[in-house]
């Protein structure tokens, strides 16, 4: 079983959507995975995903209303095989937080998409509803590429 943690800033917009998109893809491919998400920030701990994120997930057939935001912990770097950041700032914060005995591999979600290495999934929090549709497209693209890699044994 491979354990994967998706990480953004607040854990109420991008990473719950990445978690949902990846779960959908992993089920389609029959991958044996544990999936979770977290934020590097603590402002929204305990809250459900942003209503706009819940709405875009629902439009795409996934219910994320039960998810609750939490902050990344040192234990996450030991428990998960892959810790996948949604943008470079969160990746830099994860590198700083990683304990010496952390075994997780760190990456950016879009690093897994050919030709999108280093690209961020932009923060939709201050955007219009359409920004969340774009977030869904980007996390789905990343989730598909990552799931394909894992299915191939990477
Ligand atoms: P997320 O979006 O990192 O995709 O969950 C954000 C949510 C909240 C804030 C920033 C980004 N905030 O500043 O409160």
Which CATH number belongs to the domain containing residue 121 in this structure?
3.40.50.2300
Percent of the chain with pLDDT over 90: 97
Q: How far is the CA of 54 from the centre of ligand 1 (A)?
A: 14
* 44-101 pLDDT, tens digit each: 999 999 999 999 999 999 999 999 999 999 999 999 999 999 999 999 999 999 999 9
Q: How far is the CA of 10 from the centre of ligand 1 (A)?
A: 4
DSSP 62: -
Rg (CA), the chain: 14
* Residue of 6, 7, 8, 10 to mutate, ligand 1, most atoms within 8 A of C-beta: 10
Q: What is the dihedral of CA 101, 44, 88, 74, to 10 degrees?
A: 0
What is residue 153's predicted lDDT score, i.e. its pLDDT?
A: 83
* 100-109 pLDDT, tens digit each: 999 999 999 9
Residue 129's pLDDT band (cuts 50, 70, 90): confident
13 pLDDT exceeds 70?
yes
Q: How far is the CA of 53 from the centre of ligand 1 (A)?
A: 11
Atom of ligand 1 at shortest distance to CA of 9? 3
> What pTM was estimated for this model as a whole?
0.97
What is residue 154's predicted lDDT score, i.e. its pLDDT?
A: 67
Q: By alpha-carbon position, which residue is closest to atom 10 of ligand 1?
A: 10
pLDDT, mean over the chain: 97
DSSP 110: G
What is residue 34's predicted lDDT score, i.e. its pLDDT?
A: 98
Q: How far is the CA of 96 from the centre of ligand 1 (A)?
A: 19
What is residue 146's predicted lDDT score, i.e. its pLDDT?
A: 97
Contact between 82 and 91 (Cβ < 8 Å): no
**Which residues are the active-site residues?**
8, 14, 123
Number of domains in the chain: 1
Give the binding-site residues of ligand 1, using a 6 Å CB cut-off. 8-14, 43, 123, 125
Q: Which segments of 2-152 are extended strands (E)?
A: 2-8, 33-39, 82-85, 105-108
Domain residue limits at 112: 2-151
């Amino acid at each position: 079983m491979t354990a994967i943690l998706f990480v953004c800033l607040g854990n109420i917009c991008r990473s719950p959507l990445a978690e949902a998109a990846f779960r959908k893809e992993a089920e389609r491919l029959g991958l044996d995975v544990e999936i979770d998400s977290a934020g590097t920030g603590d402002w929204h701990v305990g809250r459900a995903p942003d209503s706009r994120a819940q709405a875009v997930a629902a439009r795409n057939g996934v219910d994320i209303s039960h998810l609750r935001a939490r902050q990344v912990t040192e234990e996450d770097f030991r428990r998960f095989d892959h810790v996948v950041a949604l943008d470079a700032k969160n990746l830099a914060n994860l590198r700083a937080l990683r304990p010496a005995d952390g075994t997780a591999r760190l990456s950016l979600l879009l690093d897994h998409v050919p030709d999108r290495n280093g690209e961020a999934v932009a923060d939709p929090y201050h955007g219009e509803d359409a920004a969340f549709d774009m977030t869904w497209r980007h996390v789905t693209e990343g989730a598909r590429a990552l799931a394909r890699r894992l299915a191939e044994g990477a």
